[in-house]
Each structure stands twice: as C-alpha cells, then as structure tokens.
Structure 1
C-alpha cells in the first residue's frame, strides 16, 4: 500500500500544480476582461462584442477545473465525517468510508459519461468568435476524468485501510500534506 501511495504522491503534486495554475491564469484573465469591460464603458476605444463568450468559457473552466483541484487535494467542502466517530469497530469505520467513496466514484462516472456526451454532441459555434461549443464544454469531461481517477484512488486507499486498519490514517493523509 505504501508503494501505491508513493506512486501517486508525485502525480498528485503535478496534477495539483497544473490545476492550480490553470485556475490562477483563468482568474487573472477573467479579472482583466472584467476590468476592460468597465473601462470600455467610460472610454469606448473598441468593441468587446466577444466579451460574453469568453467570460462564459472562463467561468465554466474555472468552476470545473477548480472543482477538480479541490477533489485532488480533498479540499472540497463537505458536511464532514461526523458519523465515523460513532462507529467503534475500526474496520467498519473504513467500510463506511468506502461506501461514501464508492458513491462518489459512481457519481463521477455518471458525470464523466454525460459530460463527455454533451461535449461530443455539441455541433454549434458561439456567435461572435465562432468557437465550437465543444471547446466550451470540454472542461467538464476533463475535470470529471480527473475526479474519477481520484475517486478510484480513494476507493483503493479505503480498501487498504480495511485490510490494514493500523496504517489507515497514514494512507488517508491529504495529498497536499505529502506534496509540500
């Protein structure tokens, strides 16, 4: 199990780095576009007729790639694991957590399937820039694939915790703890 975890540690760091920088660049671009839009209202130097399309593209990518980054680092919001403390048997506690991870895995599989179908079926283009809508929707299956991969990783970790509960919390450590 330690070998499995060590293989993913480097991969976690790379994926997290890429997703963080994608989000930073997208957010900076969004900030510049919004600023330009405000300035152009007072000093109309040129038209931003394409503004809505690019903002829509950036927002979609920011939301989905940001969600994937949070999924990788286990930084997404949740109601918390308040039930585990009431399960006295350690293995049953990990079985409970495994069931949660399996539900997440199922959801990510469904999300990947339907977001991929949506992206592939999109045949139209945007009005101003004539960008294919597939480009707009591509962030969904890409981020879903990343989250599906990490859901599978989490299932394997929980299975490892059921097999060896003594090392359970070591294997369940957040990826960013190992990356920094």
Structure 2
C-alpha cells in the first residue's frame, strides 16, 4: 500500500487502485474459529473488486498470514482520509442473501435431526436409530448457525474494526 492507493501485481496485471476510487469495503469471516479464513473485499467505482484472503485459496493456513492480513486491514483503514471514510460503505459479514441461505440451510438440517430425537423420546424409533443421524445433523446445524451468527450482515465504523471478523493467528 502507498499513500495514494493499493499497488498490486496479479496474474500478469499490475496497477495502482487509488483510495479515491474505493466505494465499499466488506470484511467477512468463513469460520468463527480464530485461525480460519477471513477476507476483505474492496469494491471500486471502476474495475473488478480486489479480494484479499487471510489464508490461501485452498484453505491452508500459512504461518503468520493471519497477522499479515490483520496488518493489511488495519493499515488500509488508517490510510483512508476522513473524506474517503465518509464516502465509503463499510460492510461486515456475508451479504444478506447469503446469510439467509446459510440460516435456512441450518434450519433445514436441524429440523429433521431434532425431529428424530423427539421421535426417540416418545418411543416411535429406537434411541440408536435417532442418535446416529440426529447427533451429527444437530452438530452440523449448530456449526452453520454459529457461522451465521458471526457472519451476520451489517455495517461497521472504520474507526473501530470488527474484531470478531479478524483472524487472531
């Protein structure tokens, strides 16, 4: 990063994306575990968005990459002028549609899982028949709901970064 913008070199292309062309910033977390993947998406008035991940694209966690990601996010926000901060939209979490899809998916997994456990409690099926699919289904649903909670859509103040969305490793 420079004082004028983000200097990049990707796939044979390079250039400088000025902060004055930045229209939106989105920080999102792909897992609430502190060492897993997060990203920042920088949307510009012209051209494609610039996306920076805290892990490699295949999900591998490189040593120190989380700290580098947090330093990048912090430095970006520090370099923005008051005029830029007033103009840019700062979003946190998933988009509202993606968040809704994850939440609905979690409920669709949870209902049959808990339904099986209820059937076992009233004696319609044996405990063994209910536990084997019910427990993993409930755990999967809980994981999705946890992700939906941590990645809920919203906005954040650029003066106070959303700590819950930044990796801690």
TM-score grouping bracket, smaller chain normalisation: 0.3 to 0.5
More strand by share: 2
More helix by share: 1
| Greater relative CO, 1 or 2 (CA 8 Å, sep 6+) | 1
Q: Under a length normalisation based on structure 1, what TM-score does the superposition of the two structures give?
A: 0.37
Q: Under a length normalisation based on structure 2, what TM-score does the superposition of the two structures give?
A: 0.39
